[in-house]
Amino acid sequence: MIRVAVVEDEQKHAQELQLFLRRYAAEKSVDLSMEFFSNGLDFVSDYNSRFDVVFMDIEMPHMNGMECAFKLRQLDQNVALIFVTGMTQYAVKGYEVDAVGYIVKSVSYFPFSVLMDKVVARLSNVVAKEIFIQKGDYLKRISSRELWFVEVMDHYLIYRTQEGTFREIGRMKDMETQLCDYDFFPLQQQLSHQSALCAGDR
């Protein structure tokens, strides 16, 4: 799952990007989720690192896209950033915030798809975390990409994976440290007073 944020105050251009994202998802057979923000201030004021790529308009009310991008980089160094602008003279400043690139309004599909290809390639190169658990006389290796969630029960860590369920003695705090940078988030199970780590949308 590629999680996309579109920060655009003009509904026409936001809808245009939505159509292109849907077309790209269909042509490339990838799953996409989209969230839309009408200004940069709303986007960064309650930001958390749940996005893989952000399409950022430069000319917006309250906080322009360049200011928003600098604030974003203080909060998230990894998210892919693409500027959407009618003001090409500002595009060069995108390199100061490590932008993947920019596309000029009105957007055409081809440059959009080229930049999305770069984003997908960048995401595919993200290194997965490998976890080793003791199974009898040997160590079992589990990739974070194959791990759905981890829960703790009676001093055992329970690993739910694509391959099956595994367990070993361990502490949830140690797993949180290992997986916090690999799209896992804590989930407190109120009824059982147990804790779990769940994988984000893939």
CATH number of residue 167's parent domain: 2.40.50.1020
d(CA 73, CA 87): 21
Q: For residue 106, give the amino acid letter.
A: S
Mind listing the pLDDT tens digit for each residue in 89-147?
665 666 678 888 888 887 889 989 999 999 988 887 665 667 788 777 667 777 777 78
113 with 107: CB under 8 angstroms?
no
Same domain, yes or no: 181 and 92 = no
Looking at residue 183, what is its pLDDT?
65
Mind listing the pLDDT tens digit for each residue in 69-93?
889 988 888 889 998 887 666 656 6
Provide the token pair at 82.
């693409």
Q: Which H helix or E strand runs over 129?
A: none
Domain count, the chain: 2
Same domain, yes or no: 186 and 159 = yes
Q: Domain range holding 153?
A: 130-199
Same domain, yes or no: 170 and 193 = yes
d(CA 97, CA 7): 16
Mean predicted lDDT score pLDDT of the chain: 81
Domain final position from 62, 90, 124: 124
- Provide the H-helix boundaries in the chain: 11-28, 40-45, 65-75, 109-124, 172-179
Same domain, yes or no: 158 and 70 = no
